[in-house]
Amino acid sequence: MTQHNYREMLRLGVNIDHVATVREARYRGRGWGEPDPVAAAIACESAGAHGITAHLREDRRHIQDRDVWKLREVIQTRLNLEMANSAEIVEIALSLKPDITCLVPERRQEVTTEGGLDVAGGLRELTETRKRLNDAGIEVSLFIAPDPKQIEAAARCGSQFIELHTGAFAESFGEERQGQAELHRLVSGAAQAHSLGLKVNAGHGLNYQNLTALLSVPYLVELNIGHSIVSRSIQTGLPAAVRDMLKLMSTYQG
């Protein structure tokens, strides 16, 4: 299986889904259009991003098959494919061979991924998929809430990574008591995961305002951030938006 050497610095994976969302708003079904998420990915890499994340949803609402195949051709850093544990998407991943896949729950009605995986409830199915992906040389991450039961199940599943769902932290940011409680859950979850031999990523709802508070969470390897960077890029351009985020992340002590 492919091994990656992770530096001490906190890494940034830029999620380009929302670039594709803007394209599909005008050009859905055309097979072409602007803005191009692949061009956006190249710009993010050039600005210092350590990886690119794209979610190939079952309903293809933003990222399309052609996007992930082109990304696989051009990405020079690391391609992270977010995906549901569905037979069709698993087969695509096995052919595509991204560097890592992040298994996420997926519901047709949601605008973006709203909850973490129930690893404990789906351990057998997730373990089977994890083995197939690992056998193909693809690392596996599980997107989960900072819940002790789910973190323990992720270790039992055999995944290399978890990605801690930071949505509740982001939603409660600015509410002192609740915000501190959610931050404490992330700190405890990261420590538990590390003690079980899991590498720890984090993402969902992270932005230029709440990121500094998140940096108290230990053992983080990578943050996956999309909407906030794409939003800022409307004013600043993508390279500047990526560099601004990297600057905020540079103080992380691990």
We report the CATH number of the domain holding residue 113 as 3.20.20.70
Distance, C-alpha 201 to centroid of its chain:
8
Classify residue 56 by burial, with Cβ atoms within 10 Å: 0-12, 13-18, 19+.
buried
Mean pLDDT of 113-118: 77
Pick the catalytic residue: 18, 24, 50, 82?
82
pLDDT class for 232, splitting at 50, 70, 90? very high
Indicate if the pLDDT at residue 254 is higher than 70: yes
pLDDT at 157 over 70: yes
55 is catalytic: yes
Examine residue 60 and state whether it is found in any structural domain, yes or no: yes
Q: Kindly report the CA angle at 117 between 116 and 119, in degrees rounded to 5?
A: 135
Residue 3 lies in a domain: no
- Residue 124 counted as domain residue: yes
- CA–CA distance, 132 with 94 (Å, rounded to integer): 8
* AA identity, residue 180: Q
pLDDT one-digit tens code per residue, 27-78:
998 888 999 999 999 999 999 999 999 999 999 999 999 999 999 999 999 9
- Catalytic residue list contains 184: no
Rounded CA-CA distance 66/69 in Å is 5
Domain-located, residue 4: no
How many degrees, rounded to 5, is the angle at CA 126 between CA 223 and CA 87? 100
Determine the structural domain holding residue 205 and report its residue range: 11-249
* 99-136 burial code (b ≥16 CB/10 A, e <16): bbbbbbbbeeeeeebebbbbbbebeeebbebbeebbeb
Q: Quick check: is 192 in a domain?
A: yes
Q: Among the options 18, 50, 62, 204, which is catalytic?
A: 204
Q: Looking at the domain assignment, is residue 254 inside a domain?
A: no
Q: Is residue 6 part of a domain?
A: no
From 55, 106, 163, 222, active-site residue: 55
Q: How many structural domains are present in the chain?
A: 1
Q: What angle do CA 192, 160, 155 make, to 5 degrees?
A: 45
User: 82 an active-site residue?
Assistant: yes
Give the model confidence (pLDDT) of 158-206 as tens digits: 999 999 999 999 999 988 899 899 999 999 999 999 999 999 999 999 9
